[in-house]
């Protein structure tokens, strides 16, 4: 495995500044829900005082191995999905950071199977020690199920044709086993291509999201974050595609929008548990230095005194 591949953290300064603005005490606890290669975690530890605490989560064993190199008594690492934020005590956290999607080392390691540009086994699991791989799922999934996943999670209009091509290949030659094989099949099924985008982009995104239950995990983690954040605490989420960002945007709006009881219109609006603060995009300089940052969107919200 290529554990030493570089990773450039997106919106590093912006995310850390947003989180620290919610710190209410020097011994506050923060959560990095996606450790990755530790860019946000390291910057936070540099800024936090000796009494603070930082808890990180990650599904990826390589990320956990990277975290083991961090020798800091304030830091603890958990090999788990950020869904496990729910295990923390209510109102105990000053900031939760969720940096979604895949990291550069994951994409750039052929053995992980995330990239259509690098041939490797068709895996795509964030944690390759658990669950079934994309290849294993495609070996038995019904055509309708494959099409549904590619359509719903990849917003791919040729999902039906791609599913048929995958199943036809499976019946004639056996299951698709590598990323190159899948990318080739998709290219043959996609009749028109978006300028500058590989025809396999949406399909690979969809299968990765599905096999890792990314959107369901995100929904659960957002709910858990709302419960564990103390008043004044910050929720900071960095998304890299519209499906993720839509969930985050709607979650914040749902918990931040004032609600008036139509049966008691003069009673005043009910206080809500979140306050939307910011939507931040990378600047031109960051995108020029790291093109993978171009699709990033960071949303920031603050926990209020109101109950959820």
Residue 308 forms part of a structural domain: no
Q: With a cut of 80, say whether residue 189 has pLDDT above it.
A: yes
Shared domain check, 171 and 93: no
Angle of CA points 168, 144, 243, to nearest 5°: 115
- Looking at every residue in the chain, the average pLDDT score rounds to 92
Structure tokens at 169: 């290949």
Question: What is the residue-wise DSSP string for 4-66?
Answer: T---PPTTHHHHHHHHHTT--STT-EEEES--TTSHHHHHHHHHS-TT-EEEEEES-HHHHHH
Owning domain of residue 192: 127-211
pLDDT of residue 268: 55
Shared domain check, 222 and 186: no
Shared domain check, 68 and 100: yes
Residue 49 forms part of a structural domain: yes
pLDDT of residue 15: 96
**Band (25; pLDDT cuts 50, 70, 90):** confident
Give the long-range contacts of residues 245-254, CB within 8 A, separation 24 or more.
245/297, 245/299, 247/215, 247/218, 247/219, 247/222, 248/218, 248/222, 248/299, 249/299, 251/219, 251/222, 252/276, 252/299, 252/301
Question: What is the residue-wise DSSP string for 62-104?
Answer: HHHHHHTT---TTEEEEEB-GGGGGGSPTT-EEEEEEE-S--H
pLDDT of residue 259: 58
Length of the chain equals: 308
Structure tokens at 254: 């749902």
Q: Which residue has the tokens 């999934």?
A: 141
Question: How many domains would you assign to the chain?
Answer: 2
Last residue of a domain, one of 164, 196, 211: 211
Shared domain check, 100 and 218: yes
Shared domain check, 222 and 192: no
Residue 121 forms part of a structural domain: no
Instruction: Compute the distance between CA of residue 293 and CA of residue 287 in angstroms, rounded to an integer.
Output: 6
Instruction: Compute the distance between CA of residue 172 and CA of residue 165 in angstroms, rounded to an integer.
Output: 11
What is the per-residue burial (b if ≥16 Cβ within 10 Å, else e) of 106-118?
bbbbbebbbbbee
Shared domain check, 174 and 27: no
Shared domain check, 148 and 69: no
Per-residue model confidence as pLDDT tens digits over 77-86: 999 999 999 9
Strand order across the 229-239 sheet? 75-79, 53-58, 29-32, 93-99, 229-239, 297-303, 274-280
By the 8 A CB rule, do 32 and 140 touch? no
Overall average pLDDT of the 245-274 stretch: 79
Residue 243 forms part of a structural domain: yes
Instruction: Compute the distance between CA of residue 226 and CA of residue 221 in angstroms, rounded to an integer.
Output: 9
Q: With a cut of 50, say whether residue 2 has pLDDT above it.
A: no
Residue whose C-alpha is closest to residue 240's, from 95, 82, 107, 78: 107
Q: Over the Cα atoms of the chain, what is R_g?
A: 21
Per-residue model confidence as pLDDT tens digits over 109-155: 999 999 999 999 999 999 999 999 999 999 999 999 999 999 999 99
pLDDT of residue 263: 60
Structure tokens at 51: 């009494």
pLDDT of residue 23: 77
């Amino acid at each position: 495995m290529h554990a030493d591949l570089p990773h450039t953290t997106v919106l590093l300064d912006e995310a850390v500044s947003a989180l620290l603005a919610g710190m209410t005490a020097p011994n506050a606890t923060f959560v990095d829900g996606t450790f990755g290669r530790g860019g946000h975690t390291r910057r936070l530890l540099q800024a936090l005082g000796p009494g603070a605490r930082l808890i990180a989560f990650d599904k990826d064993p390589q990320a956990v191995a990277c975290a083991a190199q961090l020798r800091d008594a304030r830091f603890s690492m958990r090999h788990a999905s950020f869904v496990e934020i729910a295990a923390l005590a209510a109102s105990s956290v000053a900031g939760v950071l969720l940096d979604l999607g895949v990291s550069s080392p994951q994409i750039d390691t052929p053995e992980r199977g995330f990239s259509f540009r690098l041939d490797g086994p068709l895996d795509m699991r964030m944690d390759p020690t658990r669950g079934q791989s994309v290849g294993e799922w495609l070996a038995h999934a019904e055509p309708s199920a494959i099409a549904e996943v590619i359509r719903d999670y990849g917003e791919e209009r040729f999902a039906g044709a791609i599913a048929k091509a995958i199943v036809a290949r499976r019946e004639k030659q056996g299951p698709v086993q590598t990323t190159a094989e899948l990318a080739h099949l998709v290219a043959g099924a996609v009749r028109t291509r978006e300028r500058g985008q590989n025809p396999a982009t949406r399909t690979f995104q969809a299968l990765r999201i599905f096999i890792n239950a990314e959107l369901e995990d995100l929904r659960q983690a957002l709910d858990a974050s709302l419960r564990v954040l103390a008043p004044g605490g910050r929720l900071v989420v960095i998304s890299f595609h519209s499906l993720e960002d839509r969930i985050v945007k709607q979650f914040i709006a749902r918990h931040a929008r004032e609600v008036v009881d139509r049966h008691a219109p003069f009673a005043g609006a009910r206080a809500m548990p979140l306050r939307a603060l910011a939507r931040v995009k990378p600047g031109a300089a960051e995108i020029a230095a790291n093109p993978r940052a171009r699709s990033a969107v960071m949303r920031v919200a603050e926990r209020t005194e109101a109950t959820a």
